[in-house]
């Protein structure tokens, strides 16, 4: 008997799973499927990314849904278009033997009329992004009267992307009698708040510990100078010839620059960032999923909901501002029982950022030395030898050319032939790394020079801080809500006691001043002003910033708001 059968699933669904090659349920599936089938209680479920959450919530819904009733009975919310499409595809595969059941993915960036038509004909399961789902509800196209299940998948990701307002609206409009299923890889305060406000005495289940890293992922760091960050990335790629990796950068600009450098240097790479059209994004993702690309360079926002199997490495070209984001990044490798490696490239001044991550993931980083030229050449040489040894010879096609080939090479003996064939590709690595310098000497004079601040980012003061319950995640959400954009380049964030600082792409300066000065946060008017960047630092956190104890809030060089002219929309409003 199938193990899935013992979980309470019907033979029709079990047969679909068997045809798809599903043999053993994952830990979260073993826990969640019987719970959802056997109880109408709301459910809070923790499981790392890539542990089979989609099947954990969709299979019990498919088991109970009335496929003869054309009304929408389940809504599944996900943070991105890609994840919504993937979930809908998975459900269609699971329900192959449920002939009357219809599932649709709805998301922004696509023709809404083409999504409205099937909804009017009748769809039992709707998988959507919060923005488009809410739009369809407001248009009264998505009818909520028959909703029995509401699933929040990757709830932490949705909140990090600034979807709180949309989630609140959707949750308020759905029937109170529904069963709410909340699945998340991490449970920050904002996710817990949603559970408190919109769930009724939820049962909590967990496949692993909350907010910790996946067991199959090893965590390594390479300490280099700032100017050696990119050369170190290249050596990490070269010493792993079979690398299949996502390289995470902090900003769109950095993502473009790193990807362009890798392509120019001959690496099989491309970029994924907010400036790409949906068609361009789909093309890049298709190439990466088909493994026509080995390295994808991406921002956190662009990679939301990205689901790719068999990644060997996740490389943090720059560490993220939020510890939870590191957990999401590293969780993209080491899936389905396979081993994965999460790499951080840091400078000596960034080493203290590893400690809070280690506390969160319950694992220690292992320091590795950036490989030298000799190590890389040796690995590449034997990779080439293996390639020659394993190549399949097409006797039929090559035989007509062999006499001429033998004639041209008849003066060369066996040893000489081997040397020459190996040297064809090996010479390029040998010449490149022949006099390669040691990148690990990050404490050498001039090794980590201070550099001018990034002129593409503008620094702002905001009159909200820890006293107002402001966190980096909530600040990013506020920015997204005010600007109505989710791909704005955000730099450093410093949360202090009663005020804070943040950096944003200079192209959005006017929008920030106009929109954020019209906003409120925790029933208090928001005031945002342009301020000078701190002297003597380049894009590094203040010692009073996130993750450090705030000992003083004296307005010194860290705070010099531009008060020469009135700032548009910047006056304090009457309460």
Q: In the Cβ-directed half-sphere of 103, how many Cα atoms lie within 13 Å?
A: 24
For residues 552 and 544, is the Cβ–Cβ distance under 8 A? yes
pLDDT category, 304, cuts 50, 70, 90?
A: low
* C-alpha span between 235 and 436 (Å, rounded): 11
Query: Which tokens hold the place of 167?
Result: 């989630």
**Taking the CB of residue 569, how many other CB atoms lie within 10 A of it?**
17
* Percent over 90 (pLDDT), the chain: 42
What strands, in cross-sheet order, belong to the sheet with 269-272?
269-272, 295-299, 245-249, 313-316, 340-346, 217-223, 366-367
DSSP 452-471: ---TTEEEEEES--GGGT--
**Record: fold of 450-575:** Alpha-Beta Plaits (3.30.70)
> Over 60: is that where the pLDDT of 450 sits?
no
- Quick one: which of 153, 134, 176 has its CA closest to 85? 153
DSSP 274-342: TTS-HHHHHHHHHHHHTTS-SEEEEETTTTTT---S---EEEESS--SSHHHHHHHHTTSS-TT--EEE
- Comparison of pLDDT for 133 and 448, the residue scoring more: 133
Average pLDDT over residues 315-323: 89
Looking up tokens 């320091």, which residue turns up? 367
134-172 pLDDT, tens digit each? 999 999 999 999 999 999 998 887 887 778 889 999 999
Between the alpha carbon of residue 48 and those of residues 212, 324, 554, the distances in Å are 8, 12, 41
* Cα 103 from chain centre: 25
Between the alpha carbon of residue 225 and those of residues 72, 317, 444, 519, 554, the distances in Å are 56, 13, 9, 41, 31
Q: φ, ψ for residue 381 (rounded to 5)?
A: -60, -50
* C-alpha span between 185 and 325 (Å, rounded): 10
Cα pseudo-dihedral 91, 92, 93, 99, rounded to 10? 120
Strand partners, 223: 346
* C-alpha span between 467 and 486 (Å, rounded): 26
What strands, in cross-sheet order, belong to the sheet with 528-530?
490-495, 500-505, 457-462, 528-530
pLDDT for 219 equals: 95
**Taking the CB of residue 169, how many other CB atoms lie within 10 A of it?**
14
**Taking the CB of residue 530, how many other CB atoms lie within 10 A of it?**
18
Cα pseudo-dihedral 2, 4, 5, 9, rounded to 10? -150
The domain 217-371 having CATH identifier 3.40.50.10490: the answer here is no
- Counting beta carbons within 10 angstroms of the beta carbon of residue 105, is it exposed (0 to 12), middle (13 to 18) or buried (19 or more)? buried
Query: Which tokens hold the place of 211?
Result: 């907010």
Q: In the Cβ-directed half-sphere of 391, how many Cα atoms lie within 13 Å?
A: 9
* C-alpha span between 338 and 345 (Å, rounded): 23
* C-alpha span between 66 and 68 (Å, rounded): 5
For residues 343 and 200, is the Cβ–Cβ distance under 8 A? no
Query: Which tokens hold the place of 423?
Result: 């040297």
pLDDT for 430 equals: 74
For residues 311 and 324, is the Cβ–Cβ distance under 8 A? no
For residues 333 and 299, is the Cβ–Cβ distance under 8 A? no
Query: Which tokens hold the place of 351?
Result: 């080493």
Residue ranges of domains in the chain: 3-207, 217-371, 374-433, 450-575
Three-state secondary-structure class, residue 31: helix
**CATH architecture of residue range(s) 3-207:** 3-Layer(aba) Sandwich (3.40)
- Counting beta carbons within 10 angstroms of the beta carbon of residue 414, is it exposed (0 to 12), middle (13 to 18) or buried (19 or more)? exposed
For residues 297 and 249, is the Cβ–Cβ distance under 8 A? yes
For residues 503 and 457, is the Cβ–Cβ distance under 8 A? yes
Burial annotation 256-287 (CB, 10 A radius, 16+ → b, else e): bebbeebeeeebebbbbbbebeeeebeebbee
Pairing of strands 43-47, 203-207: parallel
- Point out the least confidently predicted range of 52-56, 191-195, 439-443: 439-443
pLDDT for 558 equals: 36
Hey, do 3-207 and 217-371 end up sharing a CATH topology, with the first three levels equal? yes
pLDDT for 151 equals: 96
Work out the mean pLDDT of the chain and round it to a whole number.
83
67-93 pLDDT, tens digit each? 999 999 999 999 888 889 989 999 999
- Comparison of pLDDT for 208 and 154, the residue scoring more: 154
Query: Which tokens hold the place of 320?
Result: 């993220």
pLDDT category, 557, cuts 50, 70, 90?
A: very low
479-518 pLDDT, tens digit each? 988 887 666 778 888 999 999 999 998 888 999 999 999 9
- Quick one: which of 466, 240, 209, 181 has its CA closest to 327? 209
């Amino acid at each position: 008997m199938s193990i899935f059968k013992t979980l309470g699933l019907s033979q029709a669904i079990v047969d679909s799973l068997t045809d798809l090659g599903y043999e053993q349920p994952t830990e979260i599936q073993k826990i969640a499927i019987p719970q959802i089938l056997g109880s109408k209680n709301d459910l809070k479920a923790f499981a790392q990314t890539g542990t089979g959450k989609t099947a954990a919530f969709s299979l019990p819904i498919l088991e109970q849904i009335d496929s003869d009733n054309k009304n929408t009975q389940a809504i599944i919310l996900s943070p991105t278009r890609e994840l919504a499409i993937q979930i809908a595809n998975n459900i269609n595969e699971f329900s192959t033997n449920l002939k009357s059941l219809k599932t649709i993915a709805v998301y922004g960036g696509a023709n809404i009329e083409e999504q409205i038509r099937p909804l009017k004909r009748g769809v039992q399961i709707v998988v959507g992004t919060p923005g488009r789902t809410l739009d369809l509800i407001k248009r009264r196209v998505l009818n909520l009267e028959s909703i029995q299940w509401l699933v929040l998948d990757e709830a932490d990701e949705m909140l990090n992307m600034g979807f709180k307002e949309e989630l609140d609206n959707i949750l308020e409009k759905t029937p109170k009698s529904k069963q709410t299923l909340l699945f998340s890889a991490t449970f920050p305060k904002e996710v817990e708040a949603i559970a408190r406000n919109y769930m009724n005495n939820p049962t909590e289940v967990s496949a692993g510990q909350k907010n910790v890293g996946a067991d199959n992922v090893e965590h390594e760091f390479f300490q280099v100078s700032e100017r050696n960050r990119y050369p170190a990335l290249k050596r990490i790629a070269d010493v792993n010839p079979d690398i299949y990796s996502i390289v995470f950068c902090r900003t769109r600009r950095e993502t473009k620059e790193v990807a362009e450098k890798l392509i120019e240097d001959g690496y099989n790479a491309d970029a994924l960032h907010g400036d790409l059209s949906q068609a361009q994004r789909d093309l890049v993702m298709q190439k990466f999923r088909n493994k026509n690309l080995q390295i994808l360079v991406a921002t956190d926002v662009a990679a939301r909901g990205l689901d790719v199997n068999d990644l060997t490495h996740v490389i943090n070209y720059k560490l993220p501002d939020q510890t939870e984001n590191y957990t999401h990044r590293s969780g993209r490798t080491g899936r389905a029982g396979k081993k994965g490696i999460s790499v951080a490239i840091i400078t000596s001044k960034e080493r203290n950022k590893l400690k809070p991550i280690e506390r969160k993931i319950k694992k220690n980083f292992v320091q590795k030395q950036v490989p030298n030229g000799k190590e890389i050449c040796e690995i590449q040489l034997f990779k080439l030898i293996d390639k020659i040894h394993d190549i399949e010879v097409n006797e039929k096609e090559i035989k007509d050319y062999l006499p001429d080939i033998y004639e041209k090479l008849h003066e060369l003996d066996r040893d000489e032939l081997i040397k020459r064939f190996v040297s064809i590709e090996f010479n390029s690595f040998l010449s490149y790394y022949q006099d390669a310098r040691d990148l690990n000497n990050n404490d050498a004079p001039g090794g980590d020079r201070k550099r001018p601040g990034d002129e593409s980012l503008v620094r702002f003061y905001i009159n909200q801080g820890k006293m107002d319950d402001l966190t980096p995640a909530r600040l990013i959400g506020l920015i997204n809500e005010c600007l109505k954009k989710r791909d704005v380049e955000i730099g450093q964030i410093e949360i202090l006691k009663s005020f804070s600082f943040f950096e944003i792409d200079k192209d959005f300066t006017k929008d920030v001043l106009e929109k954020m000065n019209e906003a409120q946060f925790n029933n208090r008017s928001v005031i945002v002003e342009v301020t000078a960047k701190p002297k003597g630092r380049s894009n590094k956190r203040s010692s009073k910033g996130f993750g450090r104890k705030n000992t003083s809030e004296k307005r010194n060089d860290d705070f010099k708001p531009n008060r020469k002219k009135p700032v548009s929309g910047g006056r304090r409003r009457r309460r």
